Structure 1
Amino acid sequence: MGKVNYQFTLPVSILKEGDSFIAYTPALDLSTVGDTFKEVLTQLGWQKVDKQLVPPVTSDRGDLFQIASPDVTSGSQ
């Protein structure tokens, strides 16, 4: 089976509260706090590559799987 790639756009809110920066991504329910903008992104897994911050890659391999679903045509639950 061939490799399948998916790309997602996830919102990341970054707020400055006092002397701290707070980064939060609601889609993954992840948050972190740091002293700088770069620090909060780094704590979320971002890396500096060629003078740019690059988001983390969580997986470079895909798996095929099936999820059983109830039979909704029979009227029973």
Structure 2
Amino acid sequence: MADNLLIIECPHCKQSIEVLALNCRIFRCGVFKNTNQQIDPHLNEAECKNLKNNDLIYGCGKPFQITDNNSVIICGYI
């Protein structure tokens, strides 16, 4: 396990999510089923709903943010 690995819980669906890098601290809950790659953290709402509705991702596709103290909060589609 990487030293900087952070495991958080999605504030929408409660799914566990592995975070390897924080960068801008904005995320979408979802990984592609075919590659296990995390979805783009800046996808718009329509694209996220499309991925979820077409059963292409694990997760809910909804946005959240990790604060400076590693708390998880709901945010908009930024």
TM-score where L is the length of structure 2: 0.29
Higher relative contact order (CA 8 A, sep 6+): 2
Who wins on radius of gyration, i.e. which is larger? 1
TM-score where L is the length of structure 1: 0.29
